[in-house]
A and B are shown apart, each in its own frame.
Chain A
Amino acid sequence: MSTYSIQTERLNLWYGDFQALINVSVDVVDGIITSLIGPSGCGKTTLLRSFNRVNERYGNVTTTGEIKVLGKNIYDPDVSLPELRKSVGMVFQRPNPLPISVYENVVFGLRVHSSRTSLKKSESDEIVEKSLREVFLWDDLKDKLKVRATTLQLEQQQKLCIARLLPLKPQVILMDEPCSALDAEATRAVEELMVSLVGRYTILIVTHNMAQARRVSKECIFMLLGEIMEHSRTKDLFITPQNPKTAEYIEGRYG
Chain B
Amino acid sequence: MSTSATTSPNPVTLDPQTRFRETALVRRKKFTEKLARLTFLTMTLLMIFPLLLIVSYLIYKAAPILSINFILDNPVRGMRAGGIWPAFLGTLYLVGISLLVSAPIGVLAAVYLNEYARENWFTRIINLAVVNLAGVPSIVHALFGLGAFVLFAGMGRSILAASLTLAIMTLPVIIASTKEALGAVPTAFREACWNVGATRWQTIRRIVLPNSISGILTGIILQVSRAAGETAPIMFTGAVFFKAIEKGDIFAYGLFDQSMALSMHLFTISTQVPNVPEALPYGTAVVLLGTVLLVNALAIVLRVYLRSRKKW
Query: Could you list which residues of chain A lie within 8 angstroms of chain B, going by C-beta atoms?
Result: 52, 54, 57, 59-60, 81-86, 89-90, 92, 94, 96-101, 104, 108-109, 111-113, 148, 161, 164-165, 168
Instruction: Return chain B residues, CB-CB under 8 Å to A83.
Output: 197
8 Å CB contact of A52 from B188, B192, B195: B195
A59-B118, A60-B118, A112-B202 known; A98+B189 contact, CB < 8 A? yes
Tell me, rounded to whole Å, the shortest Cβ–Cβ distance linking A180 to chain B.
Answer: 14
Answer yes or no: B207 CB below 8 A from chain A CBs.
yes
Q: Are B197 and A168 in contact (CB under 8 A)?
A: yes
The CB with the most chain B CB atoms within 10 A, among A60, A98, A164, is that of: A98
Q: Please, which residue of chain B has its CB at the minimum distance from the CB of A56?
A: B194
Q: Collect the chain B residues with CB atoms within 8 Å of residue A161's CB.
A: 192
Point out the residue from B119, B196, B207, B211 that lies within 8 Å of A164, measured CB to CB. Answer: B196
B77 within 8 A of A: no
- Contacts across chains A and B counted by CB atoms under 8 Å: 69
| Interface membership of chain B positions 91-125, coded 1 if the CB is closer than 8 angstroms to chain A and 0 otherwise | 00000000000000000000000000011000000
29 A/B residue pairs, CB under 8 Å, sorted by A: A52-B195, A54-B191, A54-B194, A54-B195, A59-B119, A60-B118, A81-B197, A82-B197, A84-B197, A85-B194, A85-B197, A89-B196, A90-B191, A92-B192, A96-B189, A98-B189, A98-B192, A98-B207, A100-B207, A100-B311, A101-B310, A104-B310, A108-B193, A109-B197, A112-B199, A112-B206, A113-B197, A161-B192, A168-B196
Which of B118, B188, B196, B199 is close to A109, meaning CB atoms less than 8 Å apart?
B196
Chain B neighbourhood of A113, CB < 8 A: 197
- The answer to the question of B198 belonging to the interface, with a C-beta cut-off of 8 Å to chain A, is yes
Kindly identify which residue among A86, A100, A101, A148 contacts B196, using a CB–CB cutoff of 8 Å.
A86
Q: Are B118 and A96 in contact (CB under 8 A)?
A: no
B 185-228 to A, binary, CB cutoff 8 A, 1 in contact else 0? 01011011111111100100011000100000000000000000
Are the C-beta atoms of B118 and A99 separated by less than 8 Å?
A: no
Which residues of A lie under 8 Å from residue B211 when comparing CB positions?
Answer: 99
B141-172 contacts to A, CB under 8 A, are none
Whether B194 contacts A96 by the Cβ 8 Å rule is no
Residue of A nearest to B207 (CB): A98
Pick the contact of A98: B118, B193, B197 (CB < 8 A): B193
CB distance B191 to A92 under 8 Å? yes
CB contacts (< 8 Å) of A96 on chain B: these are 186, 188-189, 191-192
Cα of A165 to Cα of B193 in the assembled complex, Å? 11
Q: Which residues of A contact B195 (CB under 8 A)?
A: 52, 54, 85, 89-90
Closest to B189 in A: A98
| 10 A-B pairs with least C-beta separation | A85-B197, A82-B197, A109-B196, A96-B188, A90-B195, A112-B198, A86-B197, A96-B192, A112-B202, A54-B194
Range, interface on chain B: 20 to 34
By a CB distance below 8 angstroms, the chain B residues around A98 are 189, 192-193, 207
CB distance from B201 to the nearest CB of A (A): 11
B92 to chain A, nearest CB (A): 36
With A and B bound together, what is the CA distance between A165 and B119 in angstroms? 30
**A-B contacts besides A54-B195, A90-B191, A97-B192, 17 pairs, CB < 8 Å:** A82-B198, A82-B199, A84-B197, A92-B188, A98-B189, A98-B192, A99-B189, A100-B310, A101-B310, A104-B311, A108-B206, A111-B206, A112-B197, A112-B199, A112-B206, A168-B196, A168-B197
Assess the A99–B207 pair: CB atoms within 8 A.
yes
Complex alpha-carbon distance, A168 and B202, angstroms: 16
A57 touches B194 (CB 8 A): yes
Report the bound CA distance from A60 to B120 in whole Å: 10
Within the complex, what minimum Cβ distance (angstroms) separates B115 from chain A? 11
Q: Which residues of B contact A57 (CB under 8 A)?
A: 194
Who on chain B is nearest to A148 by CB?
B310
CA distance A181 to B261 in the complex (A): 58
- Neighbouring A residues of B310 by C-beta, 8 Å: 100-101, 104, 148
**Contacts A92-B188, A92-B191, A99-B189 given; does A108 touch B196 at CB 8 Å:** yes
Distance (Å) between the CB of A135 and the closest chain B CB?
Answer: 15
Task: Kindly state the separation between the CA atoms of A224 and B83 in the bound complex, as whole angstroms.
Answer: 79
In the complex, which residues of chain B have a beta carbon less than 8 angstroms from the beta carbon of A111? 206
Question: A108: shortest Cβ distance to chain B, in Å?
Answer: 6
CB nearest neighbor in B for A99: B211
Residues of A within 8 A of B193 (CB): 98, 108, 112
Distance, CA A111 to CA B207, complexed state (A): 13
Least CB distance from B98 to A in Å reads 33
Complex Cα–Cα for A89 and B202 (A): 17
